[in-house]
Amino acid sequence: MAQQHLDPPTGSAAVTAHRAAPAPLHEGGAPVGDVLADYLRAQATEFLRSLRQHRETGAAANGTGGSGDAARSLRRSARRISGSLHTFRPLLEADWSEGMRPELAWLSGTLAREHAYAARLERLLGALNRLSGPTALPAQTGRAAAAPITPKGNLTVGAAKAGALLDRQLTLARTRAHSAALQALGSSRFHAVADSVAVLASEVPLTPAAARTDLRPLAAAARDRLTDAVTGLPLVTAGHPYNAEALVHGLSADTAPQPQDAPWHQVRLLLRLHRYAREVLHDGECPVDTRLLGAGRALNRHRDAAEAASAAATAARTPRIAPATAYALGVLHADQRHEVEAARFAFQRAWQKEAVRSGPGD
């Protein structure tokens, strides 16, 4: 069945067809190298399809619509390829896979930035709206400065000015990220990545032993790395609502991201690797694990809120802003840090739910 991918597929139908096929098994019933190869080929195919779509719709500068979807889909496959190369490293030619991973990380990082800035701005303007009550900032405009505002007092002006400042800063960052992404997609570095992925779509460079290697212990190791990292999280604290931990350094002098966030971000990445490993094993019929889904969503929210809080703090350091603007940014920063705390609470709740048994290796 792997033969159908030797000719470059032309759309997602091929991917779907592949996914619906039963996974190849070793004589003992264990998923082996071929299962991984199938998964990687499918993801590589999806990557190439998204790339074509992105080229067709790519000139749009707003990162939404077809171009945005294609970029998201590109990132999605790039992450899955990269994650699988990592988890199932022993089955793949070392030089090739170790050379490819940083390039895929560079690519998905570059492509992610534009969307991240847009989402961050939307999150912050949404929060400003919520914090200002119904009249201060018009909801859903995304452009606080340009919208008609009827200030009734100092702090409402502050909220509007804070919104305008964030809009300016994050829109500029987004525009730069868009240019950087376009530049990246035109670079020889990118073409080298695309060539590697095209090779992957036809011929996965497995080691000779891969055909006899059970994938499950490697997937289990990915799961164990996740559970070990979760064990290191302050889950008892996180499970007590309103523990006020996330804002503990809310006024510290350090501009760097809060060190207390790092282990949570790390768990987010490990959860993702675990999820991809499950996809490889259950290829074509991966059951949805609502616990993992909930935990993953909480960690995404954690990351987004942490970055939004950081953006508000950064904006507050803009020279010559009005005190009312700075005040509003302070309220906003604290609000987002409480979102961070809320996300940790949500993760703790999701994680403590009894794990859904979803087959071998999980």
Q: 46 in helix, strand or coil? A: helix
**The binder of a second copy chosen from 147, 247, 269, 286 (CB under 8 A):** 247
Burial track 241-260 (b if 16+ CB lie within 10 A, e otherwise): eeeebbbeeeeeeeeeebee
Q: Does 201 bind a second copy (CB under 8 A)?
A: no
Cα–Cα distance measured from residue 35 to residue 57, given in angstroms and rounded to the nearest whole number: 33
Which token pair is 207?
């080691």
Q: Does 236 bind a second copy (CB under 8 A)?
A: no
Q: Does 338 bind a second copy (CB under 8 A)?
A: yes
Q: Does 131 bind a second copy (CB under 8 A)?
A: yes
Q: Does 155 bind a second copy (CB under 8 A)?
A: yes
Q: Does 353 bind a second copy (CB under 8 A)?
A: no
Q: 206 in helix, strand or coil? A: strand
Cα–Cα distance measured from residue 289 to residue 257, given in angstroms and rounded to the nearest whole number: 31
Q: Does 256 bind a second copy (CB under 8 A)?
A: no
**Interface segment toward a second copy; rule CB under 8 A; list 80-88, 114-122, 261-269, 326-334:** 326-334
Could you tell me if residue 361 is left (phi over 0), alpha (psi between -120 and 50 degrees) or otherwise beta? left
Q: Does 166 bind a second copy (CB under 8 A)?
A: no
213 CB contacts (<8 Å, ≥6 apart)? 32, 33, 90, 91
Q: Per-residue string for binding with a second copy, 9-38, x by CB under 8 A?
A: ------------------------------
**Interface segment toward a second copy; rule CB under 8 A; list 42-50, 59-67, 101-109, 317-325:** 317-325
| Interface residues toward a second copy, by CB under 8 A | 128, 130-133, 136, 151-156, 158-159, 241-242, 244, 247-255, 313, 316-317, 321-335, 338-339, 341-342, 345-346
